[in-house]
Amino acid sequence: MINPLRGMKDLTFEDSARFVYIITTAIEISKRYGYEYIETPILEETALFRRSVGESSDIVGKEMYQFEDKGGNDVCMRPEGTAGVVRAFVSAKLDRQPSTQKFYYYGPMFRYERPQKGRLREFHQFGCESFGEASVYEDFTIISMIAQIFDALGIGYELQINSLGCENCMPPYKENLVAFLTDIKEALCEDCNRRIVTNPIRVLDCKNTNCQALLQDTPKLIENLCTECDSDFSKLKDLLNNANMSYEVDTNLVRGLDYYNKAAFEFVSNDIGAQSAIAGGGRYDKLVEYLDGRATPAVGFAMGVERMMELVQMPEPSRGGIYLGTMSPEAIDTLLPLAKSKRLREQVTVEYQAKKLKAHLKAADKIGAKVAAIIGEDEFANGTIWVKDLESKEEKTIPVEEF
Ligand code: HAM
């Protein structure tokens, strides 16, 4: 028997119902905010992720499903969705249009991480990217939209926010940070030592408890923001306060991808174990330019569907659809055209085998049908059909063409 690869899962039965419910709810809500569907390839040139997610990130450094294809091209299974959407945005020259443009997407992402609870090698994201709006109101709106999606799905969360500054305030801060970290580098772990050189901001994110204790007194970027970043971050906090949305400012929230600036945020759940982030995102105003487009401010997020599947509260199943059956083999020819016309509007299940009434009713009940419609021998002779509403228990026999 051949099993799926480690860290990859089949989506079946109850799981697939949860998956579809999450995606359809997220689509419905994001459409109300003006997002339209975008689909980009799963396989992209490796250079795309190197330039966007960043050489020094774990995703690019250690976790890519990267290989040479038969034509000798260096390609990679997408580890996240933003880079592909930005590439598509630039490829279609949408960066030359003056209006705001918003896209939603969902699908599989691939990261060669060590699998554990909540961490897969193939997982699914639902994400949104908004282009062309520099205002902090858009950051607030996108955070509100994520909250609305979680609320609709009955998923509890905590919101963490931070500001990652901009090209004016980040470089001097980085210098300060490197000086601070260099002084304590002997006591920091190997990963931190590597990051001091490759990506010092990521040191703040180290999960090692010893390092965390040593990092307590590091200079904080939010205390060193430039006037514009500081005022945007204050405005974001005001907007969240006014909307009665609770949040925590986490100065160590740096995100694992290099393209962010200004607002960064994560939604976390305390009910799913160590891998607690259920959505993450932020502003990435320079990425369109890095990928050869015209300067376009942008903000977006992605949610982890498998993690949400652990938390989602499914609505009570309600009865729906029609079950069609016969008690005599000849009547099947009447059922098929009937099923076809009913399927224009409703879900129909047809049982091809002639059976006793009791067996039909049991089967209709098992699939949760609302109506069972059966043609018995008498009904077949008279051109009628016996119909039972399985909710109200009402029964009637009517001419087939009236059903
Ligand atoms: P990310 O934080 O890397 O952001 O991933 C977003 C979400 O995907 C996480 O919060 C988590 O729920 C889920 N996730 C990540 N890795 C795994 C995994 N190995 N197994 C299961 N779930 C996982 C991004 O990917 C950015 N592209 C988000 C973004 C969009 N920023 C701006 N626009």
Rounded Cα distance between 173 and 166, Å, is 10
Residue nearest to atom 1 of ligand 1 (CA): 280
Residue nearest to atom 31 of ligand 1 (CA): 281
Rounded Cα distance between 134 and 211, Å, is 36
Domain shared by 233 and 254, yes or no: yes
Give me the residues paired with residue 372 across strands: 323, 388
Task: Return the best residue to mutate from 48, 123, 161, 299 for the ligand 1 pocket (most ligand atoms within 8 A of CB).
Answer: 123
Domain shared by 302 and 360, yes or no: no
Binding-site residues, ligand 1, Cβ < 6 A: 80-82, 111, 113, 119-120, 123, 125, 127, 129, 256-257, 277-282, 284, 300-304, 306-307
Domain shared by 334 and 268, yes or no: no
pLDDT of residue 301: 98
Domain shared by 63 and 38, yes or no: yes
Rounded Cα distance between 88 and 301, Å, is 17
Give exposure, 101-122, as e/b (b: 16+ Cβ within 10 Å).
bbbbbbbebbbebeeeebbbbb
What stretch of H or E contains 261? strand 261-268
Q: Is residue 205 part of a domain?
A: no
pLDDT of residue 250: 94
Query: Tell me, what CATH number does 357's domain have?
Result: 3.40.50.800
Residue nearest to atom 11 of ligand 1 (CA): 304
**Interval 113-138: pLDDT, tens:** 999 999 999 999 999 999 999 999 99
Q: Is residue 196 part of a domain?
A: no
Atom of ligand 1 nearest to the CA of 81: 27
This prediction has a pTM of: 0.94
Domain shared by 247 and 127, yes or no: yes
Separation of CA 279 and ligand 1 centre (Å): 6
Separation of CA 51 and ligand 1 centre (Å): 18
Separation of CA 304 and ligand 1 centre (Å): 6
Cβ atoms of 102 and 36 within 8 Å: the answer is: yes
Q: Is residue 2 part of a domain?
A: no
Domain shared by 141 and 30, yes or no: yes
**Pick from 282, 309, 336: which residue ends a domain?**
309
User: Would you say the C-alpha torsion 126, 128, 129, 135 has a positive or negative sign?
Assistant: negative
Q: Is residue 87 part of a domain?
A: yes
Give 204-215 as a DSSP string: GG---HHHHHHT
Query: Tell me, what CATH number does 27's domain have?
Result: 3.30.930.10
Q: Is residue 192 part of a domain?
A: no
Residue 55 structural domain: 13-169+225-309
Q: Is residue 210 part of a domain?
A: no
Rounded Cα distance between 78 and 41, Å, is 8
Domain shared by 304 and 373, yes or no: no
Domain shared by 253 and 352, yes or no: no
CA 378 distance to own-chain centroid = 54
Q: Is residue 181 part of a domain?
A: no
Domain shared by 26 and 89, yes or no: yes
Domain shared by 261 and 373, yes or no: no
Rounded Cα distance between 4 and 288, Å, is 36
The domain total for the chain is 2
Rounded Cα distance between 66 and 69, Å, is 9
pLDDT of residue 317: 87
Task: Return the best residue to mutate from 6, 22, 35, 80 for the ligand 1 pocket (most ligand atoms within 8 A of CB).
Answer: 80
What tens-digit pLDDT sequence spans the chain (403 residues)? 999 999 999 998 889 999 999 999 999 999 999 999 999 999 999 999 999 999 889 999 999 999 999 999 999 999 999 999 999 999 999 999 989 999 999 999 999 999 999 999 999 999 999 999 999 999 999 999 999 999 999 999 999 999 999 999 999 999 999 999 999 999 999 999 999 999 999 999 888 999 989 998 899 999 999 999 999 999 999 999 999 999 999 999 999 899 999 999 999 999 999 999 999 999 999 999 999 999 999 999 999 999 999 999 999 989 999 999 999 999 999 899 999 999 999 999 999 999 999 999 999 999 999 999 999 999 999 999 999 999 999 999 999 999 9
Domain shared by 77 and 26, yes or no: yes
Q: Is residue 379 part of a domain?
A: yes
**Pick from 279, 309, 339: which residue ends a domain?**
309
**Pick from 309, 332, 355: which residue ends a domain?**
309
CA distances from 220 to 175, 206, 211, 216, 379 (A): 12, 15, 16, 10, 80
Give exposure, 231-241, as e/b (b: 16+ Cβ within 10 Å).
ebbeebbebbe
Domain shared by 360 and 388, yes or no: yes
